[in-house]
Amino acid sequence: MYQPEDLDIVRKLLALIGEDPQREGLLETPMRFLKAWSEYTSGYQQNPEDILKAFEDGAESVDEMVIVRDIPLYSLCEHHLAPFFGKAHIGYVPDRRILGLSKMSRLVEVFARRLQVQERLTNQIADALDTHLQPLGVAVVIECRHMCMESRGVRHTGTATVTSALRGSVKNNPDTRREFLALIGR
């Protein structure tokens, strides 16, 4: 599926950093690189609506906040193409419809597997839930370590960047917000 000129792009990059693209250990690297990157950016081929359109039956009686903690997240910063990674915590107050738990991590992947900034990623997940699930409230908290901050420049090693997006009752009701933050352990 890749053309020879696609592989040449990676060979040029290898030469640019001072490597010999013909070195034995690097001969297969351009193909591996392109395959890995198609996985890192597979979110562009996915639509959140497809993941969120199927709802669980039997949710009529659920009116307490549903929380999914510690969803693993791997993304790439759009400024340096460097990895950032960490965890997402998602909570929502259902309005008759609930979502399978595995769908929550698939939703995170749709937006994480693109070039991102953490703030936008957080808001996109919250907005997708708000639009397609139409709950009473939504909260998304993401904590990530950014390789572009830790391994270069000012080197803030080990510091996590925390972002949040609140919608509906979680935003407007301090008790609901406190409940969410307590349940995710913050």
Identify which range of 37-45, 56-64, 145-153, 163-171 contacts Zn ion by CB under 5 A.
145-153
Is the Cβ–Cβ distance between 101 and 94 less than 8 Å? Answer: no
The beta-carbon contacts of 156-160 under 8 Å, at least 24 apart in sequence, are 160/86
Cβ at position 100, least distance to Zn ion in Å: 33
The 3 state secondary structure assigned to 53-90 is CCCECCCCCCCCCEEEEEEEEEEEECCCCCEEEEEEEE
Cβ at position 9, least distance to Zn ion in Å: 21
Q: Single out the catalytic residue among 49, 79, 119, 156.
A: 79
Distance CA 53, CA 69 (A): 22
Rule CB under 5 A: say whether 32 interacts with Zn ion.
no
Cβ at position 51, least distance to Zn ion in Å: 27
Closest to Zn ion by CB, 32 or 155: 155
Closest CA to 166 of 132, 123, 131: 123
Give the CA count within 13 Å in the CB-facing half-sphere of 176.
Answer: 21
Rule CB under 5 A: say whether 148 interacts with Zn ion.
yes
Size of the site for Zn ion (CB under 5 A): 4
Distance CA 31, CA 174 (A): 51
Rule CB under 5 A: say whether 178 interacts with Zn ion.
no
Cβ at position 80, least distance to Zn ion in Å: 4
Is the Cβ–Cβ distance between 73 and 87 less than 8 Å? Answer: yes
Q: Which of residues 44-103 bind Zn ion (CB under 5 A)?
A: 77, 79-80
Rule CB under 5 A: say whether 145 interacts with Zn ion.
no
Q: Is 22 a catalytic residue?
A: no
Rule CB under 5 A: say whether 115 interacts with Zn ion.
no
Rule CB under 5 A: say whether 144 interacts with Zn ion.
no
- Residue 98 DSSP class: B
Q: Which residue is nearest to Zn ion (CB)?
A: 148
Which residue ranges make up the site for Zn ion (CB under 5 A)? 77, 79-80, 148
Which residues are marked as active site?
77-80, 118, 146, 148
